[in-house]
Amino acid sequence: MKVVSKVTAIEAMTTRERQAEWERRVGTPAPPAFSAGLLARALAWEVQAKASGGLSKAEIRRITSFGSSGRMDPATGGILPGTWLSRTWRGEVHQVIVLDSSFEYRGRRYSSLSEIAKEITGAHWSGPRFFGLKSPRLRELKVSNGQ
């Protein structure tokens, strides 16, 4: 079956069918936070990644490096300045701009994403994890690609 026909089949699935397909393909239950649309896009990515051979070891290292430290330093090759990070928390969208050596959130500068996550939630969070840059899924990618 070609990639296009597989993606078309995913688009036609119900939410429950997509969840079952996720478990079949990935080996874990679908993340509960994934909406039906996001789950369809994630499954489509999985299909395309498998068809193209997945991420290279260098790509996985680069992605993993984004969230390897609680205090990220964009100047050393982390996230590129100018990147916008977005996170919805309790129904409100929070956007952060990556600067040369800091982050801007609501007109104020912060030295780490963890400071911003604490500002948003009122509790200590790993900033990279809060903004989706560090995830247990990245560790799964490393294992599945033999790292």
Q: How do the domains of the chain map onto residue ranges?
A: 3-54, 61-130
Instruction: List pLDDT tens digits, range 51-76.
Output: 888 777 777 777 666 655 444 454 44
The residue among 17 and 147 whose pLDDT is bigger is: 17
Instruction: List pLDDT tens digits, range 80-112.
Output: 788 889 889 998 999 999 988 899 999 999 999
Q: Is the pLDDT of residue 136 over 90?
A: no
Burial of 87 (0-12, 13-18, 19+ CB in 10 A): middle
Q: Quick one: pLDDT at residue 138? A: 54
Give me the mean pLDDT over the 116-141 stretch. 80
Q: Quick one: pLDDT at residue 65? A: 66
Structure tokens at 141: 């990618």
Q: Quick one: pLDDT at residue 57? A: 76
Supply the DSSP string of 11-60, one letter for each residue.
Answer: HHS-HHHHHHHHHHHHSSPPPTT--HHHHHHHHHHHHHHHHHT---HHHH
Structure tokens at 137: 């899924």
Contact 97, 103 (CB under 8 A): yes
